[in-house]
C-alpha cells in the first residue's frame, strides 16, 4: 500500500482540523517539510511504524506492542484494520484512530495523520 502522511502537529500551526475534507489537498499546497508531509510504500509484512522507519522517518513510539498509544495515527482515507488486543477504547477506533506499531493499511492507498499522541483524547491515555 502507498501511504500519504501528514504530521498532526502541522494542523494546529495552520488552523486545520482532522475532519477537514480537503486536509491533504491543503497540506500538498502548503510547502511542508518532507518529514511533515509526504508518501511512502508499506511492504505487506510491515507495520505502518516499521514502514515509516524503513523510509527514514522517526515517528513516535514507545512500547511497540499496542499498550501505550504513543504511536497513534488517524486513518483519514483507506482501510487499516485494528487488531483486537490493544489499549485504544472503541470510541477512538470508531473515529479511525489506530496504533501504527501493530497495524498497517490494507488498501492500495491510504491517507494517514501521524503524531496523534498530541490529540487530547489520545494524550490522556498515554502511558
Ligand atoms: Fe505503544 Fe504503539 S508504541 S502502542
- Listed by start position, the domains of the chain span 2-123
Residue 23 has pLDDT above 80, yes or no: yes
The interface pTM score, or ipTM, of the predicted complex is 0.99
pLDDT above 70 coverage of the chain, percent = 99
Whose alpha carbon is nearest atom 4 of ligand 1? Answer: 66
Residue 85 has pLDDT above 80, yes or no: no
Q: Does ligand 1 lie within 6 Å of residue 66's CB atom?
A: yes
The CATH T-level fold of domain 2-123 is Ubiquitin-like (UB roll) (3.10.20)
Q: Does ligand 1 lie within 6 Å of residue 126's CB atom?
A: no
Q: Does ligand 1 lie within 6 Å of residue 76's CB atom?
A: no
Question: Ligand 1 centre from 62 Cα, in Å?
Answer: 6
pLDDT at 62: 96
Residue 127: pLDDT band (50, 70, 90) is: low
Q: Extract the C-alpha cell encoding 88.
A: 485504544
Exposed/middle/buried for 52, CB within 10 Å: 0-12, 13-18, 19+?
buried
pLDDT at 83: 85
Question: Ligand 1 centre from 122 Cα, in Å?
Answer: 12
pLDDT digits (tens, 9 = 90+) for 26-78: 999 999 999 999 999 999 999 999 999 999 999 999 999 999 999 999 999 99
pLDDT at 124: 87
Amino acid at each position: 500500500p502507498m501511504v500519504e502522511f501528514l504530521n498532526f502537529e502541522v494542523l494546529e500551526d495552520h488552523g486545520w482540523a482532522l475532519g477537514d475534507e480537503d486536509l491533504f489537498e491543503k497540506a500538498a499546497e502548503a510547502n511542508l517539510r518532507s518529514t511533515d508531509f509526504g508518501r511512502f510504500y508499506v511492504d505487506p509484512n510491515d507495520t505502518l511504524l516499521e514502514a515509516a522507519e524503513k523510509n527514514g522517518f522517526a515517528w513516535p513510539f514507545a512500547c511497540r506492542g499496542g499498550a501505550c498509544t504513543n504511536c497513534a495515527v488517524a486513518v483519514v482515507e483507506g482501510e487499516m484494520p485494528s487488531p483486537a488486543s490493544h489499549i485504544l477504547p472503541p470510541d477512538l477506533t470508531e473515529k479511525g484512530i489506530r496504533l501504527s506499531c501493530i497495524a498497517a493499511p490494507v488498501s492500495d492507498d491510504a491517507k494517514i495523520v501521524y503524531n496523534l499522541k498530541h490529540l487530547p483524547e489520545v494524550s490522556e491515555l498515554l502511558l
